[in-house]
Amino acid sequence: MTTMAKCKLKSQLVSVLLVVAAGCNSRDVVATSGSVSTCEPDCICELFETNRYMFCAALSTWPAADAVCSAHGMRLARIDSAEENTWIRETADANDLVRLWIGTSDLTEEGVWRWTDGDLVLSVAAAGGAPGYHDFPAPEPNRGRGSNCGSMHESSSWHDQPCDFERSFVCRSPAP
């Protein structure tokens, strides 16, 4: 093992010891760029595959939820597969979170749904719809100019909602 690898391992061990000494458990911490910080109050932090998630019960508008995620170095959740969608729904259900803001909207161009990182989710006008995974059931998204933000409902399907509705929310970022 190289000296750099040994130092990184020692650094991670020290972080874990500090978390344990503080009385935290793995559900209470979020790693950010190699450091450890606590989860937002009223939130639960989890890992799935190569990402970390923060599920927040506090009811917020889509812009306010996006700001909370950003403050933690995260974005409202991007969902790239049916498995990830199911896991998010099951985790939300286990924590009594019903409707969640997710990181898709058509705020910049009506009918063109993008993730908060700018990647295309769905173009309503395009034949065949989307280049990647989405769970908008027909006829969603269907609300036009007043409903520009993506929400996951109890069934795990996605719906367009007015951005000023208040919902729980889920943030995502790559795990360190």
The conformation of residue 132, written as its DSSP 8-state character, comes to S
Same domain for 47 and 19? Answer: no
For the chain, the helix, strand and coil percentages under 3-state DSSP, each to the nearest 5:
25, 30, 40
Query: What pLDDT, in 10s, does the model give residues 118-175?
Result: 988 877 665 455 567 888 888 888 767 789 999 999 988 999 999 999 999 999 999 8
Res 125: pLDDT: 60
Q: What is the pLDDT of residue 67?
A: 96
Tell me: do 165 and 94 sit in the same domain: yes
Q: Strand 149-152 and strand 100-105: pairing?
A: antiparallel
Beta bridge partners of 44: 55
Same domain for 22 and 81, yes or no, is no
Residues 87 and 141 reside in one and the same domain = yes
Name residue, tokens 């395009």.
126
Which residues span the domain enclosing 26? 1-38
92 within 8 A of 167, measured Cβ to Cβ: no
CATH at residue 90: 3.10.100.10
Based on the fold, state whether residues 77 and 23 are members of the same structural domain.
no
**Region 57-66 average pLDDT:** 97
Q: Within this chain, do residues 133 and 110 fall inside the same structural domain, yes or no?
A: yes
Q: What does the alpha-carbon distance between residue 150 and residue 113 come to, in Å, rounded to a whole number? A: 9
Residue with tokens 């993730």: 115
pLDDT tens, position by position, 82-101: 999 999 999 999 999 999 99
Q: How many structural domains is the chain composed of?
A: 2
pLDDT surpassing 60 at residue 3? no
Q: How far lies 8's CA from each of 18, 23, 148, 161, in Å?
A: 15, 23, 43, 44
